[in-house]
């Protein structure tokens, strides 16, 4: 059990960060830096220095940090991303760079390197990706040749190239993944070491406030005590071990970016009058450009919070859950930002408006720390095992739990989420019978559908906890209990409908001969019936979001 920061300390960190951003990072400066394609190194160093010390949340107490747990990290990452995903990426890169050491390092290595992140605020980089090894890291070509002396290994010579490395041109230390005789291994390399150079900053689509550079290692010598953990061949395991946690961070970036864009769209829609009234009163606007995105972001948040709580409870690496959270949040964040541009009309298409920048920034979250397609594959493969182990019952069991929840709390969307889960169990069983997961398209679409269903279940549970007044003390409280329940009903209906229609597409589309009575198995009637009340719920959520924006504007005005 990792209790992390106390609630007051978390709120203090979030408030200090907000205050720093209001004082030092007005929109006009962020837009200017984006246009100049400039990494504001001094600002990042102040964020990770005595002035703000935001990196301390991520560093364990014993190495001089504040020892934040996964929940704290999610809240802080969401907050940083709402300010700027490029700046947030720089902090993330330091934490990713120190992660192989935190996970697999010897006590001496942790003291020597991780404590520098806390005490000196050094910037680190995480050097895994190579020009020809991205999603498939095992294809790496960078080598680590042992150097012997007195009959044992005294050091290594690293040679190769790394691609797209955040903080690559500015970090003091880099964790480099290289192929040693015993297999892929991490090495901690001082960036000033002879033979270690970097390329020019990449000219990127977004996160232009972050530094991204290629790294070149030309026979770079490191002492043997810089091999993380002191044993070769542990690199991929050490990378895997933190995926649940690191993907949660990027999930929080998607959430923070998505909501930052949507908040602006909602505020704009209250002011912008067209055809005799503000846009926020027009269903054709709100029910397409605001409500669905708010709902999907909150489903993602529910998945993030559940995963964070479980990680903090010691439930293990949770790679599949981390992938579900990342997939839901980054896809929803990107769609929300796109909708926010549309919501601003022509203005949204100009550099002058932050939504345009946010859209370019949030796009990266679907690519780094594992692409969306790799997330789909991870989710599908992980849950496929559960499906087989449970003889097809995994999602029927999940559905039954949601049915019990519905009996207890009828208005939180658990009924429609249960319909979706039953349909998923049936779809997976049909895939097993037809051996359809051999088709990669089917496998990856299954990953997407699993995430949708799990997000629906998570949001229903979160809405129920909110109704019962039992949300975690550190949980976000953007939506109140009635609004969360409404969002959950909308989301669960969408999950059920998506399951029913996508199942037909996949099963019939792959010429699966054994379709049988597909409608009965997928519960199509129940799916259709569950849609009742959808528009009224969308009306209600649109009004709640608009009221909330009004309240925020009034509070700001009076404060
Ligand atoms: C701005 C930025 C910052 C980054 N920061 C870092 C960093 O700090 N450290 C670091 O190590 N890396 C970093 N990366 C690298 C990032 O993690 C990789 O770009 C990412 O993992 C994808 O690898 P790739 O670019 O080689 O694409 P590829 O792996 O070649 O993928 C290309 C496309 O093919 C798809 N694909 C790949 N494999 C499969 C498959 N088996 N089946 C179906 N589809 C597949 C992918 O989803 C993607 O759509 C960064 C990248 C960017 C752009």
Condensed to tens digits (0 to 9), the pLDDT of residues 149-178 reads 989 999 999 999 999 999 999 999 999 999
Q: Bin 316: left if φ > 0, else alpha if -120 < ψ < 50, else beta.
A: left
Q: What does the alpha-carbon distance between residue 506 and residue 434 come to, in Å, rounded to a whole number? A: 11
Cβ atoms 303, 454 nearer than 8 A: yes
d(CA 368, CA 376): 14
CA 377 / ligand 1 centre spacing (Å): 14
Site of tokens 């406030």: 209
pLDDT over 70 (residue 516): yes
The CA dihedral of 454, 455, 458, 462, to the nearest 10 degrees, is -170
- Using alpha carbons, list the distances in angstroms from residue 450 to 267, 422, 442, 471, 521: 33, 11, 12, 24, 17
The interaxial angle of helices 354-362 and 243-271, nearest 10 deg, is 160
What is the predicted pLDDT for the residue at 515? 76
* Ligand 1 atom closest to 367 (CA): 20
The atom of ligand 1 lying closest to the CA of 370 is 21
Does the structure show a pLDDT above 70 at 422? Answer: yes
CA pair distance 262, 332, nearest whole angstrom: 11
Ramachandran category for residue 373: left, alpha or beta (phi over 0 → left; psi -120 to 50 → alpha) = alpha
Which letter does DSSP use for residue 227 in this model?
Answer: B
Atom of ligand 1 nearest to the CA of 368: 17
Q: Is the dihedral of CA 285, 286, 292, 298 positive or negative?
A: positive
Is residue 559 predicted with pLDDT exceeding 50? no
**pLDDT tier for residue 557 given thresholds of 50, 70 and 90:** low
* DSSP three-state, residue 311: helix
- CA distances 502 to 26, 195, 448, 521, Å, are 44, 53, 10, 14
With a cut of 90, say whether residue 250 has pLDDT above it: yes
Can you tell me the distance from the alpha carbon of 148 to that of 152, in angstroms, rounded to the nearest whole number? 5
318: left (phi over 0), alpha (psi -120 to 50) or beta: left
User: CA 484 from chain center: how many Å?
Assistant: 21
Distance 371 CA to ligand 1 centre (A): 6
Q: Are 488 and 536 in contact (CB under 8 A)?
A: no
pLDDT at position 529 over 50: yes
Residue of the CA atom closest to atom 38 of ligand 1: 135
Mean pLDDT over residues 117-136, rounded? 96
Q: Is 443 in the pocket of ligand 1 (CB under 6 A)?
A: no
Question: In angstroms, what is the C-alpha Rg of the chain?
Answer: 24
Residue 245 confidence class, pLDDT cut points 50, 70, 90: confident
Our CA angle for 442, 445, 449, nearest 5°, is 130
Give the span between the Cα atoms of 69 and 3, in whole angstroms.
Answer: 7
* Average pLDDT rounded to a whole number, residues 350-378: 98
- Active-site position among 298, 335, 356, 369: 369
Average pLDDT over the chain reads 96
Nearest CA to ligand 1 atom 27: 134
Mean local confidence (pLDDT), 421-446: 96
Map residue 491 onto helix, strand or coil.
Answer: helix
Residue corresponding to tokens 């489903």: 299
Query: β-pairing, 212-223 with 152-166?
Result: antiparallel
Euclidean distance between CA atoms 479 and 476, whole angstroms: 8
178's enclosing H/E stretch is strand 173-180
Tokens encoding 76: 């802080």
Nearest atom within ligand 1 for CA of residue 125: 8
Q: Is 469 helix (H, G, I), strand (E, B) or coil?
A: coil
Contact 287, 538 (CB under 8 A): yes
Cβ of 92 below 6 Å from ligand 1: no
**Which pLDDT band holds residue 102 (cuts at 50, 70, 90)?**
very high
Query: CB within 8 A of 135, min separation 6: which ones?
Result: 370, 371, 373, 374
CA–centroid distance, 357 to ligand 1, in Å, is 22
Torsion sign across C-alpha atoms 357, 360, 363, 365: negative
The backbone torsions φ and ψ at residue 189, rounded to the nearest 5 degrees and listed phi first, read -115, 130
C-alpha triplet 493, 497, 502: angle, nearest 5°: 150
> Does residue 298 surpass a pLDDT of 90?
yes
For 26, residues 6+ apart whose C-beta sits below 8 A from its C-beta are none
Instruction: State both tokens at 42.
Output: 């001094």
Burial class from Cβ neighbours inside 10 Å (0-12, 13-18, 19+) for residue 346 reads: exposed
Does the CB atom of residue 330 touch ligand 1 within 6 A? no
Q: Which of 1-15, 233-247, 356-370 has the highest mean pLDDT?
A: 356-370
Residue of the nearest CA to atom 14 in ligand 1? Answer: 164
CA 167 to ligand 1 centroid distance, Å = 17
Cβ 441 under 6 angstroms from ligand 1? no
Q: Is 93 in the pocket of ligand 1 (CB under 6 A)?
A: yes
> Band of the pLDDT at 558, cuts 50, 70, 90?
low
Q: Is 408 a catalytic residue?
A: no
- Alpha-carbon distance of 184 to 181, in angstroms, equals 8
Q: Is the confidence at residue 366, as pLDDT, over 90? A: yes
Name the β-bridge partners of 223: 155
> End-to-end CA distance of the chain, in Å?
39
Model confidence pLDDT, tens digit, residues 15-39: 999 999 999 999 999 999 999 999 9
Which helix (H) or strand (E) covers residue 212, if one does? strand 212-223
Distance 136 CA to ligand 1 centre (A): 9
pLDDT on residue 556: 66
With a 6 A CB cut-off, is 137 part of the ligand 1 pocket? no
pLDDT tier for residue 317 given thresholds of 50, 70 and 90:
confident
Distance 104 CA to ligand 1 centre (A): 24
pLDDT of 72 > 50? The answer is yes
């Amino acid at each position: 059990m990792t209790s992390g920061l106390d609630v007051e300390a978390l709120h203090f960190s979030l408030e200090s960060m907000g205050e720093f951003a209001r004082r030092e990072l007005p929109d006009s400066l962020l837009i200017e830096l984006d246009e100049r394609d400039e990494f504001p190194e001094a600002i990042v160093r102040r964020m990770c220095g005595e002035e703000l010390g935001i990196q301390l949340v991520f560093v364990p107490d014993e190495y001089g940090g504040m020892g934040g747990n996964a929940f704290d990290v999610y809240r802080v990452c969401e907050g940083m991303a709402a300010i700027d995903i490029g700046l947030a990426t720089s902090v993330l890169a330091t934490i990713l760079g120190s992660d192989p050491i935190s996970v697999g390092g010897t006590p001496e290595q942790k003291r020597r390197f991780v404590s520098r992140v806390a005490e000196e605020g050094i910037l680190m980089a995480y050097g895994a990706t190579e020009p020809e090894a991205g999603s498939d890291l095992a294809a790496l070509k960078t080598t680590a040749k042992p150097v012997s002396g007195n009959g044992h290994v005294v050091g290594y010579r690293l040679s190769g190239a790394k691609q797209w490395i955040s903080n690559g041109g500015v970090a003091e230390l880099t964790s480099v993944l290289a192929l040693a005789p015993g297999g892929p291994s991490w090495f901690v390399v001082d960036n000033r070491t002879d033979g270690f150079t970097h390329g020019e900053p990449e000219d990127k689509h977004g996160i232009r406030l972050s530094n991204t550079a290629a790294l070149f290692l030309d026979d770079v010598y490191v002492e043997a005590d810089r091999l993380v953990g002191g044993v070769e061949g542990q690199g991929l395991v050490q990378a895997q071990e933190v995926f649940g946690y690191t993907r949660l961070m990027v999930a929080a970036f998607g959430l923070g970016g998505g909501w930052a864009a949507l908040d602006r769209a909602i505020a704009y829609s209250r002011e912008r009058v067209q055809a005799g009234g503000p846009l926020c009163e027009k269903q054709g606007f709100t029910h397409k450009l605001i409500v669905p995105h708010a709902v999907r972001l909150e489903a993602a948040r529910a998945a993030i919070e559940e995963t964070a709580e479980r990680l903090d409870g010691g439930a293990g690496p949770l790679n599949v859950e981390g992938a579900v959270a990342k997939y839901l949040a980054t896809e929803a964040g990107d769609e929300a930002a796109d909708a926010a541009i549309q919501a601003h009309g022509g203005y949204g298409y100009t550099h002058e408006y932050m939504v345009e920048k946010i859209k370019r920034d949030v796009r990266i979250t679907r690519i780094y720390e594992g692409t969306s397609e790799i997330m789909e594959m991870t989710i599908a493969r992980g849950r496929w095992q559960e499906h087989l182990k449970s003889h097809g019952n995994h999602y029927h069991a999940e559905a039954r739990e949601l049915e019990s929840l519905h009996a207890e709390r009828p208005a939180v969307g658990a009924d429609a989420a249960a319909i979706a889960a039953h349909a998923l169990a049936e779809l997976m069983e049909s895939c097993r019978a037809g051996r359809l997961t051999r088709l990669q398209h089917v496998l990856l679409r299954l990953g997407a559908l699993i995430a949708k269903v799990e997000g629906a279940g998570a949001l229903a549970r979160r809405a129920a906890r909110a109704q019962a007044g039992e949300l975690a003390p550190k949980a976000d409280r953007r939506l109140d209990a009635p609004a969360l329940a409404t969002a959950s009903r909308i989301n669960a209906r969408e999950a059920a409908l998506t399951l029913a229609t996508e199942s037909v597409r996949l099963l019939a589309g792959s010429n699966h001969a054994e379709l049988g009575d597909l409608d009965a198995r997928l519960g199509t009637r129940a799916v259709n019936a569950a849609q009742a009340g959808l528009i009224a719920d969308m009306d209600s959520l649109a009004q709640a979001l608009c009221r909330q924006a009004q309240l925020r504007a009034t509070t700001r005005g009076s404060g």
